Amino acid sequence: MSEKLISINNLSAGTKNNQILYNISFDINECEIVCLLGQSGSGKTMTALSILNMLPLNVMQTSGSILYDNKPFNENMRGSFISMIMQAPASCFDNVFTIGAQFKDILLSNNKEYSIEKVCAALEKVELKNPQDILNSYPFQLSGGMLQRVMIAIALSLESKVIIADEPTSDLDITGQKEIIDLILKLKKENKSVLMITHNLAVAKSCADKIAVMEQGRIVDIFNTDELLSENRHKYTKELIAANNWLYANKWNIDLGENYAEM
């Protein structure tokens, strides 16, 4: 039986005047990819920020609990036990400093060993060629897909057990999406667990072991990915499936929404 690395129980959060999350409950198990699926504004990123204990100043957890390897949160867990691959990677790097300088700063600030050999090995794992050239480059000199790979390499170097990936494919073309999904699947082979946040059903079903569907701050459906087409699915889940099928409809009767990543 897989070990529970993160357990969220009846989590609610909001501002003084507005509730944002309502009784969120799910687990992330060892070597598991869980997808939070839902439209923009459904509460996916706020759930991730709650897990990281990084809620905005005007938002607070109002009830529920989150356990990390059966322990309460402490500041040392962020970066060591759990880390995050951010959305829009170009906005996550400082264009004044090289990739190498920022990579080094992140590792040292999280009390991790830094060496050129270690960093280059991590960049090679995410299939970035000429890693030394990457380290000498400034963020604006790299594509969005390359920066996303750098962020995954940083997560690997931090040796976190759980990695949150917030819409890692949203700024990429279809080829770039496939490449990032392939890397997410490789994280699982590296004995990592991943919480993937996405609004894209095709992305979710191409990599997730388990999908939790969010609507208006609530998890309305949660299931193993192979149960996606079950009659027991929630009405909102069925609407997402129907919209996905419409989007990928074509005159050749080819299901362009099928899994396009190597499993």
- Write down the domain spans for the chain: 1-81+194-263
pTM: predicted TM-score of the whole model, two decimal places: 0.87
CATH 3.90.1300.10 fits 1-81+194-263, yes or no: no
Residue 254: both structure tokens together: 């080819």
Helix ranges, the chain (H): 44-51, 99-109, 116-125, 131-136, 144-158, 174-189, 201-207, 235-247
In tens digits, the chain (263 residues) has pLDDT values of: 568 999 999 999 999 999 999 999 999 999 999 999 998 889 999 999 999 999 999 999 999 999 999 999 988 898 889 999 887 778 889 999 999 999 999 999 988 888 999 999 999 999 898 999 999 999 999 988 899 899 999 988 998 999 999 988 877 778 888 888 898 998 888 899 999 999 888 889 889 999 999 999 999 999 999 999 898 999 999 998 888 877 777 666 656 555 443 33
d(CA 259, CA 99): 33
Residue 232: both structure tokens together: 């027991």
CA separation (Å) from 209 to 27, 54, 81, 104, 215? Answer: 12, 26, 21, 33, 20
